[in-house]
Structure 1
Amino acid sequence: MADKFKNETTILPGSFGARQVKLSRLYPEAANGVHVLLLHGVHSSANLSPYNKFRHLACILAERGFTPWLCETSRRAANREDYCDDVGGWIMEAFRGKSFRNELDDCAAALRHVESQSPPELWIWGFSLGGIIALALACGEGYAVGKVILSGTGLVSMPEAERTMMPLPILSTLRESVDTEMLNDIRAREAVAFRGSNDAIFSDAACRSLLEAINIPRENKRYYVIEGADHSMKMRNGRHDSKIMDEMLSLLTDQ
């Protein structure tokens, strides 16, 4: 479907490894003026390859007139396919030594590039750790954000996730780098949070409490549970389901 739209990928200076941030853009046929910066989760990717979930999200955004930007942060040159089922091995090879500050700097570079296009309205949509980064970016200088959107994002993960994930690259420096006081300074008109009911990383309470802590009027905050969806928003009740992305976008726009 992405071939239906004109697209381009810009390589920006990155903070780590190969020092490249890949920023991919789709051009809708009838633009509505809203640009959406999409931020992936930790140790993940966002590009226009055929099986990347962000490609599907970008396409359905473009079909509705939005201009999507997919930010893929810097990492060491390591081919994920070479590691087969050894996810931990790939994470260490690609991200060993990368800090949360590096990840944030990569996303800030992407945001500056999007802002340089003078979008009439800007949304930032982050998944998991990308949601924390979206909040950090939304409290900076520059464009006031129309919507900051969180998918599967909380402040404290479930005990097993804390034990196994927090020692990993990027996450190991998260808590020393993020001050929750930033939630008092969010420069966004609206905040929307999604959680999959089968999320094994963040509890419903963790996701709700993060949204509640954002210091914007309560009437400008919305919370949705996507039934059967997992933390990644790729699986529903154990099966791949691209309609999860369609469901979230419909909830965002059909108001």
Structure 2
Amino acid sequence: MSDEFHSEVITLPGSFGSREVKLSRLFPNVPNGVHVLLLHGVHSSANLSPHNKFSHLAHILAERGITPWLCETSRRQVSRDDYPDNLRGWITDAFGGKSFPDELADCEGAFSHVALHKPHETWLWGFSLGGVIALALAAKYEVERVIMSGTGLVSAPDAERDMILLPILSTLRENLSPEMLREIKAESTTLFRGTNDAIFSDEACRDLIDAIGLPAERKKYFAIEGADHSLKIRGGRRDAKIMDEMLALLLAT
């Protein structure tokens, strides 16, 4: 992976906590006019630090001439390191009181900033909840591609009980219309699922792609063997090649 790309991080107005959305960008050496906005999952992050999964994805996109933008949504500035054995405590302190409309507004602001650069093509690539947000944006704005990784129509019952009361997720369903999926303004959609995803089943992911109101030939579904829900872990270990595999499949379609 090349480290030669110029990068920048800008701060946009946010909806919550610090009121800051961090938007990181890599500049390809030979840009092809395609810009992709990368959207992280709930209570997560997307930045260019070496251990963030989006950093690797951003670099392999830039190597192919695609301009990646990494959107990190607003939250209270409390350190995850201060909660080594208390993930829920950190989620509550960092995101408690934040709603799904707040999260969507953060991402919409990032999308509007990317649009100022007048891309030849705009792609939205969201992971888990980020995939839902990508769909919500594509129901409002015209884009060339919507890519979802680890996003399904209905989560597994155990995961549902465990997560539905958490910040952002607790207001998800009341703010999404079933009509949204029939209003997608994209040339194509692609959905990736890790076969070891414990949050969304194969059926839930296929149901989502089927419900999108585009012709079947403009919708693709791929299973990534052995990958988990985050599409970061395979065989119990971090595996950056998962990102390479998804991108290769995406560019081949």
Work out whether the TM-score is over 0.5: yes
Task: Give the drift of 1:148.
Answer: 0.2
Unaligned runs of 5+ in 2: none
Partner of 1:163: 161
- What letter matches 1:192 in structure 2? T
Unaligned runs of 5+ in 1: none
Equivalent pair of 1:154/1:207 in contact (CA under 8 Å): yes
1:50-79 per-residue CA deviation (whole Å, 9 max, x = no partner) reads 100000100000001100000000000111
Distance 1:172 1:231 in 2: 20
Identity %: 65
Aligned with residue 235 of structure 1, among 221, 233, 236: 233
Task: Give the drift of 1:89.
Answer: 1.0
Aligned with residue 210 of structure 2, among 212, 215, 238: 212
Equivalent pair of 1:40/1:46 in contact (CA under 8 Å): yes
Task: Give the drift of 1:254.
Answer: 2.3
Distance 2:185 2:2 in 1: 32
Equivalent pair of 1:158/1:203 in contact (CA under 8 Å): yes
Distance 2:98 2:183 in 1: 27
- What letter matches 1:17 in structure 2? G
Distance 2:178 2:242 in 1: 29
1:28-58 per-residue CA deviation (whole Å, 9 max, x = no partner) reads 0011111000000000000011100000100
Partner of 2:91: 91
Partner of 1:181: 179
1:136-174 per-residue CA deviation (whole Å, 9 max, x = no partner) reads 000114xx2111001000121001100000100000000
Find the residue that maps to 2:47 and give its secondary structure: coil
- What letter matches 1:120 in structure 2? H
Task: Give the drift of 1:2.
Answer: 6.5
* Structure-1-length-normalised TM-score: 0.97
Find the residue that maps to 2:54 and give its secondary structure: helix
Does residue 129 (structure 1) correspond to residue 129 (structure 2)? The answer is yes
The within-5 A match list for 1:72-151 is 72-141=72-141, 144-151=142-149
Find the residue that maps to 1:57 and give its secondary structure: helix
Partner of 1:246: 244
**Runs (4+) off by over 3 Å:** none
Distance 1:34 1:180 in 2: 30
Query: Between Structure 1 and Structure 2, how many residues are aligned?
Result: 253
Task: Give the drift of 1:4.
Answer: 1.5
Equivalent pair of 1:2/1:48 in contact (CA under 8 Å): no
Task: Give the drift of 1:237.
Answer: 2.0
Task: Give the drift of 1:85.
Answer: 2.8
Distance 1:82 1:48 in 2: 22
Distance 1:2 1:158 in 2: 38
1:206-232 per-residue CA deviation (whole Å, 9 max, x = no partner) reads 011001111011101100000000000
- What letter matches 1:35 in structure 2? H
Equivalent pair of 1:2/1:55 in contact (CA under 8 Å): no
Task: Give the drift of 1:80.
Answer: 1.0
Find the residue that maps to 1:140 and give its secondary structure: coil
- What letter matches 1:7 in structure 2? S
Task: Give the drift of 1:3.
Answer: 3.6
Distance 2:176 2:76 in 1: 24
Distance 2:237 2:84 in 1: 20
Partner of 2:151: 153
1:104-132 per-residue CA deviation (whole Å, 9 max, x = no partner) reads 00000000000011001000000000000
Equivalent pair of 1:198/1:237 in contact (CA under 8 Å): no
